[in-house]
Amino acid sequence: MRFLVSQASFRSDFSKSFLPRFLPRYGKSTIIIAALLSGFLSACDTKTANEKTADESAPAYTQNSAQPKLSTPPSQNDSTVVQALQQNLEKSDIALNVISAVATPIDGIYWATFDNSPPMFTDAKGEYLIQGQIARVGVEQPFDIVDEIQASLAKEQLSQVDASEMIIYPAKERLATVYVFTDPTCHYCQKLHKEIKEINAKGVEVRYLAWPRNEQFIQLAERVWCASDRQEALSLAKQGDDITAPACDNPVAKHMTLGHQIGVSGTPAIFTESGVQIGGYLPADELAKQAIAHKN
């Protein structure tokens, strides 16, 4: 478990490359976030190999204060903690908008979600932000204490996404549904998409949401979602073809915001109807097995 450490100034490449993903602006104080870097091995991260080599100091993408805010909290939200944390963030001139704070199994520790930033732990007074993982031990199967909370949040948020915002590949005889945050340029997303017919044949409906991994890929995702035939555009984009489409009112920024709130950190990010994140890329057989097992 890593703590946020307040300092007067910083110049490290790490802070320049990582911090902009979390804080859209800086004020009287600045913060160094010691990140617990984790993720699925079968997922693309937020930078291409060339970008990592060429410019480690560039942010993954530019935060936009005009991006939509998803303000619907989970039913177990503690508004008192939300208010306290929000007030403390504002006192420190930190531009994070707190969406929810849900009690964890540890007394006085809450799981807080934000607009355009990954979730973090906080205390009952909202005086500390803690990033990392807390595992329950002393039991037969140790587990992450926020798994159930995060799944509940994801289930609630994903169920509210209108079908018209997603690119849907239905199954003839639907046994389960998965929500997949995707980037057409991601190798593992392309690999998954090649198996879409097989996944559908196994009774799994695939609902795609946009998750461009880098600022330079946002326009491609927007063109796909603005195309007259989104399915064709997505397939062509994942083959490396150029996509043209007139600008339109699209949900790409909204999907990115949602992804942050429910813990997406790479693509593909696959969620079941119950809100459980099961991958990373999974072969069609395993994906169907997991989707059906975690349907409810």
Q: Where are the domains of the chain?
A: 2-35+73-156, 162-293
* pTM (predicted TM-score): 0.73
At 158 the pLDDT is 96
pLDDT less than 50: residues of the chain: 1-40, 48-72
Digit-coded pLDDT (tens) for 5-28: 333 332 233 233 333 333 433 333
Q: Which of 62, 55, 56 is nearest to 23 (CA)?
A: 62
Fold agreement between 2-35+73-156 and 162-293? no
Count of helices and strands (H, E) across the chain: 10, 14
CATH architecture classification, 2-35+73-156: Roll (3.10)
Digit-coded pLDDT (tens) for 189-213: 999 999 999 999 999 999 999 999 9
- Torsion (CA) 226, 231, 234, 237 in degrees, nearest 10: -100
The strands making up 167-169's β-sheet, listed across from edge to edge, are 167-169, 204-210, 176-182, 269-272, 277-279
At 155 the pLDDT is 94
CATH architecture classification, 162-293: 3-Layer(aba) Sandwich (3.40)
